[in-house]
Amino acid sequence: MTTDNTSLKLEKVMQDAEDFLPILGTDFVELYVGNAKQAAYYYQHAWGFQPVAYSGLETGRKDSVSYVLQQGKIRIVLTSPLQPDGDINAHINKHGDGVKMVALWVDDAKKSYEETTKRGAKSYVAPYEMEDEHGKAVISGIHTYGETIHLFVERKDYEGPFLPGYKAYATKAEAKDTGLNYIDHMVGNVGWNEMNKWVDFYAKVMGFAQMVSFDDKDISTDYTALMSKVMSNGNGRIKFPINEPAEGKKKSQIEEYIDFYHGAGVQHIALATDNIIETVTQLRDRGVEFLYVPDTYYDTLLERVGEIDEDLEPLKELGVLVDRDDEGYLLQIFTKPVLDRPTMFFEIIQRKGAQSFGKGNFKALFEAIEREQDLRGTLQ
């Protein structure tokens, strides 16, 4: 797939952002997983991502294998090792399946690398060129929280299915898409008292600006608490909320994540749809599990958020949450963790004007998460 360069809107929406990179959008998210072939089946058939590209033994790669799948503008890469040693194995052994690369689409990967490393980013990989019969691409990368990496991907001279070294990949079995369009935001969980360090990183090193912040008074239940700040790049296409645990009576979901992921990492990826009822119905029918919200949440919902376009009944039936801010409202729902360890999950979000993150739902949401933690014996 080639990305449509003609529809670029680089309007600056965050006036405080320096935007010296600048980032055009998310290029891909790469997960290191134990069995990429089966993970690809899951994302294709449960989530409706379409197979796009493959690289492995058949393409001359000896040590690892990657499947690329896409839906709307969302591109995920699933990578597994083929040998017992190496970084991918070490990553999976320590973290379980999880996000390794949050790749950002840029015009100039060399400049992005220089601008960020000179502001203090730790280098992961210096800019290098890759080439095949479809053209050339340039990649560079820096470290962010935990063992997560930001790659900078420059692909304006590349026309192939994904990147050099990959061949087009298709399967005989088709899976209809589920209406997912783009990544709305991607949340990082970091350790105790580390939120501001990473907020500073995104401000100073990446030129992002802060959109909002939530403290433990906003985000706490009887038992658990967390703090969060949301960082955005200049054109608003990249939004990274950063969470840290706060002191509560019991272990917070952020601590549970850190315990099982063994460090900081990507907590959830929010995927945008134009029709959340249709999307979530499809996902649910194909086996994706969502957090349960008690029926009582809906008893006073319209009093809290005012009039909405959707019927209440399907929202209640699916467990979709609604929140309103000054600009409009949003609908959102959260999956259970999609891995065996209680680490990463997805959010499905439909924005109807609102640019916020569902603050009004935090309490209902965290109580739902606590019920799951309780079942896992980690709410202590």
Which positions touch Fe ion (CB under 5 A)?
A: 270, 347
What are φ and ψ of residue 56, in 5° steps? -175, -155
CA angle 75–333–242, rounded 5-degree value:
65
CB of 241 to Fe ion, least distance (A): 6
Least CB distance to Fe ion at residue 292 (A): 18
Closer CB to Fe ion, 98 or 164, in the complex: 98
Q: How far is the CB of 342 from Fe ion (least distance, A)?
A: 17
**Alpha-helical regions (H) of the chain:** 36-45, 87-95, 109-118, 195-200, 253-261, 276-285, 301-305, 312-318, 362-376
Q: Who's near 241: CB < 8 A, 6+ residues apart? A: 185, 187, 188, 228, 229, 230, 231, 357
The smaller minimum CB distance to Fe ion, of residues 244 and 347, is found at: 347
Which has the closest alpha carbon to 341: 287, 267, 270? 267
Can you tell me the distance from the alpha carbon of 301 to that of 321, in angstroms, rounded to the nearest whole number?
9
Least separation, in Å, of the C-beta of 283 and Fe ion? 16
Supply the minimum distance, in Å, between the C-beta of residue 347 and Fe ion: 4
Kindly tell me which of 21 and 246 has the beta carbon lying closer to Fe ion.
Answer: 246
| Token pair of 239 as six digits | 């939004």
Cβ closest to Fe ion, residue 120 vs residue 353:
353
Residue among 21 and 270 whose Cβ is closer to Fe ion: 270
User: How far is the C-alpha of 282 from the C-alpha of 92, rounded, in Å?
Assistant: 30
